[in-house]
C-alpha cells in the first residue's frame, strides 16, 4: 500500500465516524430528556399550539422517516431554527455570524504555541541541562499548570489596571498600538472584521486587507484571549518538542550524518528537525481539539460572541438543535484536523502506510 493509498483510506474512514456522530445527535435530540415542544413553548404547553409545533418539527412522522430527514438536513447544513438562544432564527445564520470571531481566536491561539512553544522546546532539546533549557522547561510546566479561566480573569483584571498609564513603567494597554480610549472601544469584545474586503479579480472574489488600523484593532482585541487559550498547548508542545529533539539527537543516523562531515546546521535542520516533528504532529492536532473546549470559557470571559459562547448558552438553556448543530460542526472541525494530520504525516514520514 503506497503512502497515498493509505491517506485515501483514512479519508474514507471519516464517513462512518460522521454517521455515528449524527446518529448519536439524533438519539439525543429526539429521545433525550428534553421535550422539544416544552423547550419551545414552556413546560405547560398543550393543545393546538403544541400540536402545531409537533407538526412543524415533524415529530408525528415515523421514527425512521425522522432519522432520514435529520441526516439529510444536517448533511446539507440545514439545521433548522434555534429554540431558545435566539428563538426562531435559522441556526446556520447564527453560526455564520459567530464563526469568524472563533476562527480568528483559534488562528492566533494555534499560532502562538506553534511559533513559540515548538522553537523553545527544540532549543531546550538541543541544549539539554543548560540554563536556557531549565528556564524553558520550568516555564512550560508552570504555564501548563495555570488553568485557562483563572488566567483569563487575572489577565483581564491586570489589563484594566493599566488604564491611563497605571501599569508597570507607565504601560497602558488601552493606548498601546491603536488607541482604544479615543475610539471608545472596550478591551474585550467581538472583532468586527471591518478590515476584510474582497475584490473581484478575473471573476473570483479575492480577499485583501482594506484597513490596516482595523486589523490592528482586531489583533489587539484577540491577543490576550488567544495567548491564554494557547498557553496550555504552548507548554505541552514545548515539553514534547524538547523530548522529541532529545531522542532524535541521539539517534544513530545523526551520528552517521556527523561521520559524513555535514555541518551541524545541516544536521539539525535536515536530519533532526523532520524526524522530531513526527511525534509532535499528533500533539499539535490534539491541542487544536482542546482549543475548541477552551474557547467556550475564554469567549465567555472576554465577551466574544463566538461559537464557544453560543454553545455554552445553548447547553445551559436547553437549546438542543443549536447545541446539536454546533456539536456537528465541532465534529467536522475535528475530522478535518484528523485528515490534516494524516496528510501531514504522509508528507513528513515516508514509512506511513508501509506494511511490514
Partner 1 sequence: MSTDDRSSATPTGATDDGGGDESLVDVRNLQTTFFTDKETIRAIDGIDFTIDPGETVGIVGESGSGKSVTARSLMGLIESPGRVLRGSSIRYRDLDTVRSFADAFSGRTVSVADLESRYDPVRVFDQTAATPAEFGYADPADVPLVDVVAAGYGDEVGLTSGDECVFVLDGDAGDPSSIRRGFVELTRVSGEAQRKMRGGRISMVFQDPLTSLNPVYTVGNQIKESLSLHQGLTGKEATQEAADLLEAVGIPDARRRVNEYPHQFSGGMRQRAVIAMALACEPDVLICDEPTTALDVTIQAQILDLIAEIQETRDVAVMFITHDMGVIADVSDRVNVMYAGEIVESADVEPLFANPKHPYTEGLLNSIPGGQVGGRLATIDGSVPTPNEEPTYCRFAPRCPKAFEECEAVHPIPVPVDETADDHTAACLLYPEDESTEAAIARHRGRSHGGERE
Which residues bind to partner 1, rule: CB under 8 A? 251-253, 255-263, 266, 270-271, 274-275, 278, 348-351, 354
Which residue, 287, 295, 298, is CA-closest to 326? 295
Query: What DSSP state is assigned to residue 129?
Result: T
Q: What are the beta bridge partners of residue 90? A: 81
Minimum CB distance to partner 1 smaller for 185 or for 348: 348
CB of 252 to partner 1, least distance (A): 4
Alpha carbon 19 to chain centroid distance?
22
**Residue 352 CB: number of other CB atoms within 10 A?**
19
CB of 220 to partner 1, least distance (A): 40
Answer left, alpha or beta for residue 93, where phi above 0 means left and psi between -120 and 50 means alpha.
alpha
CB of 341 to partner 1, least distance (A): 17
CB of 2 to partner 1, least distance (A): 11
Minimum CB distance to partner 1 smaller for 51 or for 127: 127
Cα(230)–Cα(107) distance, rounded to whole angstroms? 10
Minimum CB distance to partner 1 smaller for 16 or for 261: 261
Burial of 202 (0-12, 13-18, 19+ CB in 10 A): exposed
Minimum CB distance to partner 1 smaller for 1 or for 34: 1
Minimum CB distance to partner 1 smaller for 119 or for 128: 128
CB of 138 to partner 1, least distance (A): 21
Minimum CB distance to partner 1 smaller for 146 or for 348: 348
Sign of the CA dihedral running 267, 270, 275, 276: positive
Alpha helices, DSSP H, located in the chain:
3-31, 36-41, 47-57, 63-75, 91-112, 118-126, 131-145, 148-161, 180-183, 212-249, 252-259, 264-266, 273-301, 307-316, 320-348
CB of 258 to partner 1, least distance (A): 6
Amino acid at each position: 500500500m503506497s503512502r497515498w493509498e493509505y491517506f485515501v483510506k483514512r479519508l474514507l474512514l471519516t464517513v462512518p465516524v460522521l454517521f455515528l456522530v449524527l446518529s448519536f445527535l439524533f438519539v439525543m435530540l429526539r429521545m433525550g430528556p428534553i421535550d422539544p415542544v416544552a423547550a419551545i413553548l414552556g413546560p405547560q404547553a398543550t393543545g393546538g399550539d403544541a400540536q402545531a409545533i409537533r407538526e412543524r418539527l415533524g415529530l408525528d412522522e415515523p421514527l425512521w422517516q425522522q432519522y432520514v430527514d435529520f441526516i439529510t438536513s444536517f448533511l446539507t447544513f440545514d439545521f433548522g431554527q434555534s429554540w431558545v438562544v435566539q428563538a426562531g432564527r435559522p441556526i446556520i445564520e447564527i453560526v455564520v455570524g459567530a464563526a469568524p470571531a472563533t476562527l480568528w481566536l483559534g488562528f492566533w491561539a494555534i499560532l502562538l504555541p506553534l511559533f513559540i512553544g515548538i522553537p523553545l522546546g527544540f532549543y531546550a532539546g538541543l541544549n539539554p541541562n543548560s540554563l536556557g533549557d531549565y528556564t524553558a522547561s520550568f516555564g512550560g510546566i508552570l504555564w501548563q499548570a495555570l488553568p485557562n479561566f483563572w488566567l483569563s480573569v487575572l489577565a483581564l483584571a491586570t489589563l484594566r489596571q493599566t488604564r491611563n498609564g497605571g501599569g508597570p513603567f507607565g504601560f497602558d494597554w488601552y493606548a498601546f498600538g491603536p488607541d482604544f480610549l479615543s475610539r471608545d472601544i472596550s478591551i474585550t469584545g467581538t472583532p468586527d472584521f471591518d478590515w476584510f474586503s474582497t475584490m473581484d479579480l478575473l471573476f473570483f472574489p479575492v480577499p485583501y486587507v482594506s484597513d490596516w488600523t482595523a486589523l490592528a484593532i482586531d489583533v489587539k482585541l484577540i491577543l490576550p484571549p488567544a495567548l491564554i487559550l494557547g498557553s496550555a498547548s504552548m507548554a505541552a508542545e514545548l515539553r514534547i518538542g524538547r523530548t522529541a529533539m532529545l531522542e532524535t539527537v541521539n539517534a544513530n543516523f545523526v551520528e552517521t550524518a556527523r561521520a559524513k562531515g555535514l555541518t551541524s546546521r545541516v544536521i539539525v535542520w535536515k536530519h533532526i528537525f523532520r524526524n522530531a516533528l513526527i511525534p509532535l504532529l499528533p500533539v499539535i492536532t490534539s491541542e487544536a481539539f482542546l482549543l475548541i473546549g477552551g474557547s467556550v470559557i475564554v469567549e465567555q470571559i472576554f465577551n466574544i460572541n463566538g461559537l464557544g459562547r453560543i454553545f455554552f448558552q445553548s447547553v445551559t438553556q436547553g437549546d438542543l438543535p443549536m447545541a446539536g448543530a454546533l456539536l456537528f460542526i465541532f465534529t467536522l472541525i475535528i475530522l478535518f484536523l484528523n485528515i490534516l494530520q494524516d496528510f501531514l504525516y504522509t508528507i513528513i514520514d515516508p514509512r506511513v502506510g508501509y506494511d511490514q
